Amino acid sequence: MTKQSLVSVRDLHIGAITDSGREVEIIKGVNFEIAPGEIVALIGESGSGKTTIALSLMGHARPGCSIHAGTIRLGEHDVTAMSERRRADIRGTEVSYVPQSAAAAFNPSKRIMDQVIEVTAIHNLPNRSGAEARAVELFRALALPSPETIGQRYPHQVSGGQLQRLSAAMALIGDPKLVIFDEPTTALDVTTQIEVLRAFRSVMEKSDMAGVYVTHDLAVVAQIADRIIVLKGGEIQEEGTTEQIVNAPRHPYTKELLAAFDPVPHEAIATADGPDRAPLLEVDRLSAGYGSMRGGEPTAKILDDISFTLERGRNLGVVGESGSGKSTLARAIAGILPPYRGEVLVNGVALPASLGQRSKEQLRQAQIVFQLADTALNPAQPIETILGRPLTFYHGIKGRAREKRVIELLDMVQLPAALRHRLPMELSGGQKQRVNLARALGAEPQLILCDEITSALDTVVAAAILELLKELQRELSLSYMFISHDLSTVEAICDDVLVMYKGEIVERLPAATMSTEAQHPYSKLLVSSVPKLDTGWLAGLEQDPELIARFANR
């Protein structure tokens, strides 16, 4: 090696103690090096140990975890051999950390500037005004609006994307040699994510700091990292330059990750109905909102005048950023949030607005599946009870017939029958989402409202769920209304896409040609903001600044 590496990790083993007191090894002998000024991405699904490794570079292990063996060298410091006090000394000045949730990392009751320059106070660096000048410089470099005064605001007075950039400023102020980014854009909207990524990139390019970027999103990594380390189960699967990993992966797991990224185009299933039948779902001038009613309208209006139809056997995607009203639309259709104006028609029959007035039969036709499988399953009930209830409730099936049908349902979602005796907490995230789906299928619905059902899952698991949805559609002639912020997911399963912005539908597009045919400026912005698996994508991306000013909540 010609030049001395900045970080070298040798044979790292990290262990953890589980709730039942058993000791498990979560990092099993990891070796890698980081050169000065280089950005290395740690990529893998949840539980692969990527955050654990990143934190260990600061000498930190989360509660219950401990570094068992191996050495971590950072510059001239041997992090593993240091006392906790000495480690505290290097944090902030040698190595620093940008957390996933900036909102949780800032103290809501202190001004931003005080928190950003706190590092200098902790390390007894004199000269507060010098530190503030440096902070303003960083704010400018991170493309924050009004860099001179933004430090005087409180965290709730800036947007999520701005706060994430401010937390990067907090990490960079001590001039560290290494910055650890822990999924810093995962919680952001795509249009916001671009600006944050750009800011990170330009700052890192100008300085000679090295970076570790932890994420599960290959497309994001392709924009920012020089090298990628692919992790699974606490072991390195593949290591290589970004170009090589993205374009010519060698390891089967990397290939699988990349394949999950490539949407398989969806083909509409043939419908047996004649053209004279009413559409499965028709929404007519629907308006809904939250809060107390004043003069027939709620104080917080979310949905405004929504109209669309969904034909039998077709899938409708609903895309938009957080706050666009996608989930509220699903809730209004399901009757959980009664709309104050407009109608929902299923098979040409208008449904009453509120749940209480709908008949069992009407409720049965449309089932809703939520994003977070953890909270959507009652932790006190075994799977059998969870799946059995809709059977008894809608169809009056009891006893052995019910058990037989529960096994059938589990089989439909490709889960073993023995799983029915378990409690939800004993299942993995993907299994829980399958159970969730099976419960909806138990009602034998014609329409399933899927509210971000793959968003909380790892790419590979999410791809398997999408496959399952397609298979179920072929077998049971279902229709899905598929809500997601992820355009590639929608592309993979839907025939048509509704683009929502601030509670209104701005455009309806065929899913397959969404990226080329988008007409409305917001749809265009949204489509162009989705990161592509191409290392030059961000550098080559040009967006109309006027559009951004109008629609992006940066």
Q: Are 210 and 7 in contact (CB under 8 A)?
A: yes
The answer to whether 170 contacts other proteins (rule: CB under 8 A) is no
3-11, 333-341, 482-490, 534-542 -> range binding other proteins (CB under 8 A): 333-341
Instruction: Output 175 or 467, the one with its CB closest to other proteins.
Output: 467
DSSP output for 43-104: E--TTSSHHHHHHHTTT---TTEEEEEEEEEETTEEGGGS-HHHHHHHBTTTEEEE-S-HHH
Interactions with other proteins, residue window 483-502 (CB under 8 A): none
Q: Which of 259, 264, 336, 349 binds other proteins (CB under 8 A)?
A: 336
The answer to whether 291 contacts other proteins (rule: CB under 8 A) is no
Q: Are 430 and 17 in contact (CB under 8 A)?
A: no
Q: Which of 21, 126, 379, 545 binds other proteins (CB under 8 A)?
A: 379
77-85, 143-151, 403-411, 530-538 -> range binding other proteins (CB under 8 A): 403-411
* Secondary structure, 3-state, 89-125: HHECCCEEEECCCHHHHCCCCCCHHHHHCHHHHHCCC
CA 45 to chain CA mean position, Å: 12
Instruction: Output 380 or 549, the one with its CB closest to other proteins.
Output: 380
CB of 275 to other proteins, least distance (A): 31
The answer to whether 176 contacts other proteins (rule: CB under 8 A) is no
The answer to whether 475 contacts other proteins (rule: CB under 8 A) is no
Q: Which of 134, 266, 439, 554 binds other proteins (CB under 8 A)?
A: 439
The answer to whether 334 contacts other proteins (rule: CB under 8 A) is yes
For residue 302, what are its two tokens?
Answer: 């979310």
The answer to whether 44 contacts other proteins (rule: CB under 8 A) is no
The answer to whether 461 contacts other proteins (rule: CB under 8 A) is yes
CB of 295 to other proteins, least distance (A): 19
Q: What would you report as the CA-atom Rg of the chain, rounded to the nearest whole angstrom?
A: 26
The answer to whether 377 contacts other proteins (rule: CB under 8 A) is yes
Smallest CA-to-CA distance from 537 within 193, 167, 187, 140 is with 193
33-41, 198-206, 353-361, 489-497 -> range binding other proteins (CB under 8 A): 353-361
The residue with tokens 């005064």 is 149
Q: Are 412 and 437 in contact (CB under 8 A)?
A: no
Helices vs strands, H then E, count in the chain = 23, 20
Sequence letter at residue 214: V
- Provide the terminal-to-terminal Cα distance of the chain, rounded to the nearest Å: 43
Q: Where does this chain bind other proteins (CB under 8 A)?
A: 334-336, 355, 358, 360, 363, 367-368, 370, 372, 375-382, 389-390, 393-394, 403, 407, 410-411, 414-418, 421-422, 430-431, 439, 443, 460-461, 464
